[in-house]
Amino acid sequence: MMRYKTKLGDMWDKIAYEQMGSTEYTDILMNSNAAYSNVYIFSSDIELTIPEVAEPIVGGAPPWKRGAGELTVRQVNS
């Protein structure tokens, strides 16, 4: 695992993109640094752990939009 020292104004998605290669890793980064999960914009000199990722993420929907499959639409007769 790598370590990263924040700069004033850093945000989770920017750190994930610059250090891990994709904003898709933001949730993994935040889970690895749970003590700072309530921080939105970082001050300088906070040391974070940058987890290693096994496989690259290629496109797709963000994690909160993935999941249960297709939306089922039903017609309601009134």
Q: Could you read off the pLDDT of 36-55 as tens digits, one per residue?
A: 999 999 999 999 999 998 76
Which residue carries 């249960």 as its tokens? 68
Beta bridge partners, 11, equal 41
Q: What local confidence, expressed as pLDDT, does residue 6 receive?
A: 98
| Cα distance between residue 28 and residue 22, in whole Å | 11
pLDDT band at 75, cuts 50/70/90? low
Q: Other CB atoms closer than 10 Å to residue 59's CB: what's the count?
A: 6
pLDDT band at 1, cuts 50/70/90? confident
